[in-house]
């Protein structure tokens, strides 16, 4: 089948990579795996070997000839945009224990997919995704690194985010322009105690202009209170957001 660029179709052809992804997911028979974008079923076939419940969302109905044969009483394919899916409703009759989400994601909507899944408020144990390597670096960056930003802190609030391994572009057909990586997002148990709406606005505002100081980016905030927190951590008042760890943001947030 001719891959559709507009749907981010780069099909995995490297068996080792497929096995490594499947092996990194530690599911039991009575767990549910949701696969996003099964494509021609390269990863789906490997996931089926785990004998868990498997629910796949694929937008492209032209892939039916490849995916039909994979359906059985534990595996279902839903032809729908994942961004419009109702996972809670679709999975309500499945007697599963833990929920896992997996996918070699269509790169043009990586962040919207992850944000959408978060918005559904599902009780997900782990999400394992193939993403563009640059995006993996942004999601897993540490303070004082150029890739550290509001999305890093946003994801960190919900998950422990790790980069598992790099994937060469030659592992796909067609070969994409960018290198890729597998990331794992594991549900975080000890989330910071914050008003999330206020906290996510604070981190987004703090990184608005990356090269500016925190003081400049937070000009609409009561900076006296921010200063007090910075002084408590012995940090200079002309610091930039990129240099601040999560606990400092949480402290700033709760002082405002
Ligand atoms: N899993 C397959 C593999 O690894 O070979 C295909 C991965 S390919 C990078 C991404 C897949 O996501 C494609 O099959 C594409 O049709 C599908 N897709 C794109 N946009 C989607 C959407 N909004 N909802 C569900 N699937 C989508």
88 with 179, same domain: the answer is yes
21 with 145, same domain: the answer is yes
Single residue among 187, 213, 245 that ends a domain in this structure: 187
User: What pLDDT was estimated at residue 60?
Assistant: 98
**Which domain covers residue 139, as residue numbers?**
5-187
* Ligand 1 midpoint to CA 113 (Å): 12
92 with 148, same domain: the answer is yes
137 with 161, same domain: the answer is yes
* Ligand 1 midpoint to CA 181 (Å): 16
Among the atoms of ligand 1, which is closest to the Cα of residue 11?
Answer: 5
18 with 135, same domain: the answer is yes
Using the structure block, give the residue that is written with the tokens 């290198």: 179
User: What pLDDT was estimated at residue 1?
Assistant: 78
Among the atoms of ligand 1, which is closest to the Cα of residue 82?
Answer: 24
Tens-place pLDDT, residues 32-52:
999 999 999 999 999 999 999
Single residue among 154, 187, 220 that ends a domain in this structure: 187
User: What pLDDT was estimated at residue 70?
Assistant: 98
Average pLDDT, the chain: 97
* Ligand 1 midpoint to CA 155 (Å): 22
177 with 203, same domain: the answer is no
CATH of the domain at 231: 1.10.8.100
List of the chain residues with pLDDT < 50: none
Single residue among 163, 187, 211 that ends a domain in this structure: 187
Number of folded domains that form the chain: 2
Provide long-range contacts, Cβ within 8 A and 24+ apart, for 90-93: 90/55, 91/32, 91/34, 91/55
CATH of the domain at 180: 3.40.50.150
Q: Is the CB of 9 within 6 Å of ligand 1?
A: yes
Pairing label, strands 159-167, 75-79: unpaired
- Closest residue (by CA) to atom 21 of ligand 1? 59
94 with 219, same domain: the answer is no
Q: Is the CB of 12 within 6 Å of ligand 1?
A: yes
Q: Is the CB of 13 within 6 Å of ligand 1?
A: no
- Residue 168, number of CB atoms within 10 A of its CB: 12
35 with 146, same domain: the answer is yes
Probe target for ligand 1 pocket from 2, 3, 6, 7, with the most ligand atoms within 8 Å of CB: 7
- Closest residue (by CA) to atom 14 of ligand 1? 39
86 with 154, same domain: the answer is yes
The torsion angles phi and psi of 144, rounded to 5 degrees, stand at 75, 10
27 with 144, same domain: the answer is yes
140 with 212, same domain: the answer is no
209 with 157, same domain: the answer is no
Task: Give the H or E element holding residue 199.
Answer: helix 196-206
User: What pLDDT was estimated at residue 6?
Assistant: 94
């Amino acid at each position: 089948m001719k891959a559709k660029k507009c749907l981010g179709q780069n099909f995995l052809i490297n068996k080792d990579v497929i096995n490594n992804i499947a092996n990194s997911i530690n599911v039991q028979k009575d767990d549910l795996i949701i696969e996003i974008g099964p494509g021609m079923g390269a990863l789906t076939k490997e996931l089926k070997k785990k004998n868990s419940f498997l629910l796949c969302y694929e937008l492209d109905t032209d892939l039916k000839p490849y995916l039909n044969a994979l359906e059985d009483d534990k595996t279902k394919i839903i032809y729908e945009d994942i961004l419009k899916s109702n996972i809670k409703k679709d999975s309500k009759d499945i007697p599963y224990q833990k929920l896992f989400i997996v996918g070699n994601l269509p790169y043009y909507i990586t962040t919207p997919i992850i944000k959408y899944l978060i918005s559904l408020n599902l009780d997900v144990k782990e999400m394992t995704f193939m993403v563009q390597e640059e995006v993996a670096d942004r999601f897993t960056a540490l303070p004082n690194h150029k890739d550290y930003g509001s999305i890093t802190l946003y994801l960190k609030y919900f998950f422990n985010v790790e980069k598992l391994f790099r994937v060469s572009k030659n592992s796909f057909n067609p070969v994409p322009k960018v290198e890729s990586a597998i990331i794992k997002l594991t549900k975080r148990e000890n989330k910071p105690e914050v008003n999330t709406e206020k906290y996510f606005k604070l981190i987004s505002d703090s990184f608005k202009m990356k090269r500016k100081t925190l003081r400049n980016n937070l000009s609409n905030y009561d900076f006296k209170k921010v200063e007090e927190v910075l002084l408590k951590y012995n940090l200079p008042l002309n610091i930039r957001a990129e240099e601040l760890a999560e606990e400092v943001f949480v402290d700033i947030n709760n002082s405002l």
